[in-house]
Amino acid sequence: MTEVVVIEGDGIGREVVPAAVRVLKTVGNGLFEFSHAEAGDAVAERTGDPLPDETYRMVADADATLFGAAGETAADVILPLREAVGSFVNVRPARAYPGVDALRPETDLVFLRENTEGVYAGHEDRLSADLSTLTRVVTTSASERLAEFACEYVTDRGLDKFHVAHKANVMRETDGRFREAVLEIAEQRGVETEEVLMDAFATELPLDPKRFDVVVTPNLAGDVLSDLAAGLVGGLGLLPSANVGDDNGLFEPVHGTAPDIAGRGIANPAAAILSAAMLLEYLGKTEAATSVRAGVEAVLADGPRTPDLGGSATTDEVTDAVLAHL
């Protein structure tokens, strides 16, 4: 039995994760054993701890976890959980779907974001009343591991190349190491690469999204640039992500708790359901993953749609429509 931990978290996590679980239960054919765990603001208010030890252990011991979002405590939850599953890459596809009013309908790319270090490694210090510092961590080993994943990723998809976004012209030591490690692995594997400075990328992506298929980035850059891509394809309600480790993974929508709409039952469940499709794919249930994606695509094309996409449907109505397609 494949063990899947479900963490709704806060805000719309409580609305979109149950939607995704309905989908997993429908296509999973009894293959999954679900257990529920708590993390985020709500459990922190009650117990003082946003990430109970039990949750960490359950996630570390499971085959995969489906996570919604945490509010103010997001960093205290999501960073350790990525570590719990041994994740070294955050896979973030950003794709414009037919029927969705996207700024750039030709956008279809995937970010492969380094997921363990960079400026998110947590080494911040307050040195005086006036001065704070942040230590950026970059290792050759983590960069190489990301590059190996990227090479496999493009090869599996019949592509022959990926882009590497960095700023090694300024951060010569840290991004220099990142760049060198990634380029060297790609060369060894016979995969072509194209370098792009990350600030230039932020201009080039909206101007000509067709240029990019797979983009390898350091941690913070991948976070920011994938949100930029979200803006091009119709909003955060559409972007799934996978935190991939060797034998465990954590799957979550890119969006947060959306306090402005939480509790109203109108959150777009597409990002969470597409995250569930990534979970299925990771667990080798390729057919089920394809079917879920097709269901979401059909509903995005024909409706019903939630208000973020200009419709007036509820989360449940959209989920029912996806289920009807499976």
State which residue, 247 or 260, has the beta carbon closest to ligand NAI: 260
Using rule CB under 6 A, residue 43 touches ligand NAI: no
Binding to Mg ion (CB under 5 A): which residues in 218-237? 223
**What gap in Å lies between CA 36 and CA 15, rounded to an integer?**
14
Instruction: Check if the beta carbon of residue 52 is closer than 8 Å to that of residue 86.
Output: no
CB of 26 to Mg ion, least distance (A): 29
CB of 228 to ligand NAI, least distance (A): 13
Among 125, 199, 208, 302, the one annotated catalytic: 199
Using rule CB under 6 A, residue 222 touches ligand NAI: no
**What gap in Å lies between CA 239 and CA 211, rounded to an integer?**
20
Q: Is 247 a catalytic residue?
A: no
Q: Is 153 a catalytic residue?
A: no
What's the CA dihedral at 75, 81, 83, 86 to 10 degrees?
-150
Using rule CB under 5 A, residue 10 touches Mg ion: no
Using rule CB under 6 A, residue 85 touches ligand NAI: no
> What residue type is 231 in one-letter code?
G
Q: Is 56 a catalytic residue?
A: no
Beta bridge partners of 197: 166
Q: Which does 268 bind (CB under 5 to 8 A by kind): Mg ion, ligand NAI, none?
A: ligand NAI
Using CB under 6 A, pick the residue from 237, 240, 245, 295 that binds ligand NAI: 237
Using rule CB under 5 A, residue 252 touches Mg ion: no
Query: What is the full DSSP assignment across 53-109?
Result: HHHHHHHHHSSEEEEEE-STTHHHHHHHHHHHTT--EEEEEEEPPTTS--SSTT-EE
Token representation of residue 107: 């956008």
Q: Is 97 a catalytic residue?
A: no
Segments of the chain assigned E as strands: 2-9, 32-36, 64-69, 89-95, 108-114, 124-126, 132-134, 161-166, 192-197, 214-217, 240-244, 249-253
Using CB under 6 A, pick the residue from 96, 150, 215, 267 that binds ligand NAI: 267
What is the per-residue binding string for Mg ion in 81-110, x denoting contact by CB under 5 A?
Answer: ------------------------------
Q: Is 101 a catalytic residue?
A: no
State which residue, 8 or 223, has the beta carbon closest to Mg ion: 223
Binding footprint of ligand NAI on the chain (CB under 6 A): 12, 16, 69-72, 74, 78, 236-237, 252, 255-261, 267-268, 271, 306, 308
Binding footprint of Mg ion on the chain (CB under 5 A): 223
